[in-house]
Amino acid sequence: MLILSKIKKPSIEDYLAGTLLACSFVWVWSVFFSFIGLKVNAIFQVVSYAVYSMGTVVASYLVTGRDEAKRLTIGLKVGFGAWVASMLLVFPLSEEESLTVMIALLVCLLFGGVLGSLIRQAVKSVNRTPKNDK
């Protein structure tokens, strides 16, 4: 008897978990900056956006493991969800509220979502290649 594996699609709970995981990187980094009381300059802002992207990479990588075909779409959904959650939960508490920061955060989170899905796709393709044993 042939048993076909059922491909699981991400549920709303998977998207919500990925969104909140990515948003938690933004929140923890914001709390860290407010706790140590550093003045924000250009270098710290670039590092902040890298941390935000990294959070979305991790979240997108985890959520895209559920579907074989639509990884890029899933990564974009996780990135956009993280941006919406950041705008609702974290951004109102921040000191610098501007359209430029909102757009930069959107770009970083979408980039992280796409990068996480591409990394998952690369890992899956490497694991599927047959190995030549000598």
Q: Is residue 124's pLDDT more than 90?
A: no
Q: Is residue 40 in a domain? A: yes
Is 6 within a domain? no
DSSP conformation letters of the chain? ---PPPPPPP-HHHHHHHHHHHHHHHHHHHHHHHHHTPPP-HHHHHHHHHHHHHHHHHHHHHHGGG-SS-HHHHHHHHHHHHHHHIIIIIGGGSS---HHHHHHHHHHHHHHHHHHHHHHHHHHHHHHSPP---
55 belongs to a structural domain:
yes
Name the residue with higher pLDDT: 58 or 95: 58
Q: Record the pTM.
A: 0.81
Q: Is residue 71 part of a domain?
A: yes
Mean pLDDT estimate for the chain: 82
Query: 133 in a domain, yes or no?
Result: no
Domain coverage including residue 26: 13-126
Q: Is residue 2 part of a domain?
A: no
Does 5 fall in a domain? no
Q: Give me the pLDDT at residue 88, please.
A: 87
Does the residue 53 lie in any domain? yes
Residue 51 has pLDDT above 80, yes or no: yes
Give the count of domains, the chain: 1
Greater model confidence, 31 or 95: 31
Confidence of residue 54 (pLDDT cuts 50, 70, 90): very high
